[in-house]
């Protein structure tokens, strides 16, 4: 049996933060359905080469800056495809419908065009994820200091938060989680509770963040809108894929002050581990906002931070265009 058809997909994002969708023309399979631009990889082509060619043929643009994202496979009735996703942030020319397709720019939070190709729903979900994931570490603060730090970070742009206070007893964690949810709601930020599905459910958090131990022991995805996890190696990433996690955090990529005894992965190993993942992965360990562009070039979704994000005073990025961060 032959393998899947290799397909490249371009997530083209303009200076307003909108992404481009194309409607399949009459005569094609799934005619009238909307999809991201792209197409098949020809024999002898690299995925980058195929992306450049496809976007020039379909849209008349010449890609000048892009970064690899995650990949995924999907089985249609007519074909088994492997999608290699790229985030396209700079190009020359104006996108035009050169193959009788319709084009539509979509803003985050807007109603999505329909009908949509089934394989694209996972991509749309991933597009909603910010590029910075803030992980709390309130052990060195009083509760008022912690909540003030959280509010400052949300004011600066933080929109994805993991409440990770493992030393708190359940009753105190529950009370703190309620207060965190109030702050997050004011800024339309999403909150994931580390490890405790009971507290996540009780405070109506947006999801749960699983430890590596939970990831390996669970046999079914927890019933939350967002399920994330911590990974440190290829085996744990495999379990994350099997469980159907929405995203993972992988690290430490660099040496950290909080865990100086842990051997860092380094950027090369981080890239090798995630380049074939079928879900977004954040880099953890010694991360700073200035590293975002490099993280993108390594297939990463963005950065996860336990320290820098709370100490810094600069605006926090939400999307993967450097000029929108």
pLDDT (0 to 100) of residue 2: 73
Give SS3 for 302.
strand
Would you list the domain boundaries of the chain?
5-122, 132-324
* Whether 256 contacts 286, CB under 8 Å: yes
What is the per-residue pLDDT across 286-320, written as a single tens digit (0 to 9) for each?
A: 999 999 999 999 999 999 999 889 988 999 988 77
Closest by Cα among 224, 275, 21 to 123? 21
Pairing of strands 80-92, 281-284: unpaired
For the structural domain made of 5-122, what CATH number should be given? Answer: 3.90.79.10
Q: What is the mean pLDDT of the chain?
A: 94
In angstroms, the CA 193 to CA 189 distance is 13
Q: Which residues contact 102 (CB under 8 A, 6 or more apart)?
A: 22, 23
What is the per-residue pLDDT across 110-145, written as a single tens digit (0 to 9) for each?
A: 888 999 999 999 999 999 999 999 999 988 889 999
What is the architecture, at CATH level 2, of domain 132-324?
A: Alpha-Beta Barrel (3.20)
Closest by Cα among 307, 259, 267, 261 to 283? 267
pTM: 0.95
């Amino acid at each position: 049996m032959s393998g899947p058809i290799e397909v490249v997909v371009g997530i083209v994002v303009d200076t307003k933060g909108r992404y481009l969708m194309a409607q399949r023309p009459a005569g094609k399979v799934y005619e009238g359905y909307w999809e991201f631009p792209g197409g098949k990889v020809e024999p002898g082509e690299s995925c980058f080469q195929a992306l450049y060619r496809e976007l020039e043929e379909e849209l008349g643009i010449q890609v000048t800056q892009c970064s690899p994202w995650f990949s995924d496979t999907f089985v249609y009735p007519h074909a088994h495809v492997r999608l290699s996703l790229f985030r396209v942030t700079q190009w020359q020319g104006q996108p035009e419908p050169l193959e009788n397709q319709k084009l539509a720019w979509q803003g985050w939070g807007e109603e999505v065009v329909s009908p949509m190709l089934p394989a694209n729903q996972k991509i749309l979900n991933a597009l909603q994820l910010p590029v910075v994931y803030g992980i709390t570490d309130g052990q060195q603060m009083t509760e008022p200091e912690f909540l003030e730090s959280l509010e400052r970070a949300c004011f600066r742009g933080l929109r994805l938060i993991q409440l990770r206070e493992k030393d708190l007893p359940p009753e105190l964690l529950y009370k703190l989680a309620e207060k965190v949810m109030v702050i997050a709601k004011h800024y339309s930020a999403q909150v994931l509770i580390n490890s405790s599905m009971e507290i996540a459910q009780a405070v109506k958090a947006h999801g749960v963040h699983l430890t590596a131990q939970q990831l390996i022991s669970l046999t079914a995805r927890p019933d939350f809108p967002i399920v994330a996890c911590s990974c440190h190696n290829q085996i744990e990433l495999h379990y994350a894929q099997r469980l159907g996690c929405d995203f993972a955090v992988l690290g430490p990529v660099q040496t950290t002050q909080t865990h100086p005894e842990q051997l860092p992965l380094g950027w090369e190993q981080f890239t090798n581990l995630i380049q074939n993942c079928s879900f977004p992965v954040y880099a953890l360990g010694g991360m700073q906002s200035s590293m975002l562009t490099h993280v993108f070039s390594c297939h990463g979704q963005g950065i996860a931070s336990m320290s820098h994000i709370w100490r810094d005073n600069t605006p926090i990025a939400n999307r993967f265009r450097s000029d929108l961060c």
